[in-house]
Amino acid sequence: MSTEFNELLPPFGGDKSSTDKSQIWILGTREQVLHTINEFYVKRIATDRVKFTPIIPAPFEGKYMSVLVR
């Protein structure tokens, strides 16, 4: 990227709202999503299960999703 484009980017760090934080989206069957949430918790990728959104139906047939906000 050129310097002109870098100047348009917001500054890194500081106080961030939940929309500015990184997110991990989990898509799959209900069982796959639940298993992945448990796996992330056991491997300490997520320090608490509260950081995941509730499992909701995804816009794809038969799929569910959850989001981990870090």
Residue length of the chain? 70
Encode pLDDT of 32-58 as tens digits. 999 999 999 999 999 998 999 999 999
How buried is 68 (Cβ within 10 angstroms: 0-12 exposed, 13-18 middle, 19+ buried)?
buried
pLDDT of residue 21: 83
Encode pLDDT of 10-30 as tens digits. 665 555 555 678 899 999 999
Distance between CA 57 and CA 54 in Å, rounded?
Answer: 10
DSSP tag of 20: T
Higher pLDDT, 36 or 59: 36
Phi-psi region of 27 (alpha: psi -120 to 50; beta: other; left: phi over 0): beta
Which pTM was predicted? 0.69
